[in-house]
Amino acid sequence: MRPRRAALSRRAFGRLVQQLEQHIQVMTPENLQNRVQADALHPAARADVQDAGGTATASTPANPRKDAKRYRFRAPETGDGAAIYKIVEDSGVLDLNSAYSYLMLGEYLADTCLVAERKGGIVGFVSGLVPRTKPETLFIWQVASAESERGRGLAKRLVHAMLSRPACRHVRYIEATVTPSNKPSKRLFRALARDLDAGFTIGQGFDADLFPGEGHESERLIRVGPFQPAASA
């Protein structure tokens, strides 16, 4: 004989339904719109959901349970130059260029640059360009995050978000020059190559004797690619 199954009382059944409802996310029109917009981005950046202003809001926790910070990605403006300058100055690794050069990012290179905001302040940026002679290549000039945000993957999210911008719709390669001592940058581009399922090479860049003065390391050329352009992903 089969064992007799215990009957589930109406009260117990009601409690079970309540527990299930607490764990089910209702797909409201707003949730559905966010889901569709997220799927339209590059596969590795689908956590970055476009808001009504055309900028990206990204949750970038290193540990979701401990870090609920949210970032807003947008094109830089001229007034952001001082904040970007400060981030580079505090990095201790990147070459600090003139303050004027960072003003130019918002004025002339905004299509291929991004800043990350949190609570109204700039906490990260990526600058780059797509050379006219190499329309399938995004050259990353500098990418950095504020000390308070390091270790949360913000730099990588910035590059992925950049690949989803209209100016990079044909990009199949990423290039950057990195000094041998800048190990964090090399780890970043290796991680991007893994995310994009693309090749990773280090070649000749700019020798140390090309730079004025003494003490500047050689810059090695990192190349990631080929990969599928975000526009066709």
Question: Which tens digit of pLDDT belongs to each residue from 184-230?
Answer: 999 999 999 999 999 999 999 999 999 998 888 999 999 999 999 98
User: Encoding tokens for residue 80?
Assistant: 């952001």
Tell me the per-residue pLDDT of 134-170, one tens digit each, with 9 for 90 and over.
Answer: 999 999 999 999 999 988 999 999 999 999 999 999 9
Residue 108 clears pLDDT 80, i.e. is over it: yes
At 216, which amino acid appears?
H
Of 6-15, 29-38, 48-57, give the range with the top mean pLDDT: 6-15
Average pLDDT, whole number, for the chain? 79
Q: Residue 213: its pLDDT value, please?
A: 87
Per-residue pLDDT at 34 exceeds 90:
no
- CATH fold, domain 59-232, is Aminopeptidase (3.40.630)
φ, ψ of residue 126 in degrees (nearest 5)? -135, 135
213 backbone φψ class: left, alpha, beta (φ>0; ψ -120 to 50): left
pLDDT digits (tens, 9 = 90+) for 35-70: 333 333 444 443 332 332 233 333 344 443 344 358
Cα Rg of the chain, angstroms: 23
Q: What is the pLDDT of residue 230?
A: 83
What value does the mean pLDDT take over residues 12-30? 45
In this predicted model, which residue has the larger pLDDT, 76 or 29?
76
Look at residues 117, 126, 200, 197 and name the one whose alpha carbon lies nearest to residue 161: 126
What pTM does this model have? 0.71
Domain boundaries, the chain: 59-232
Predicted local confidence at residue 156, as pLDDT: 96
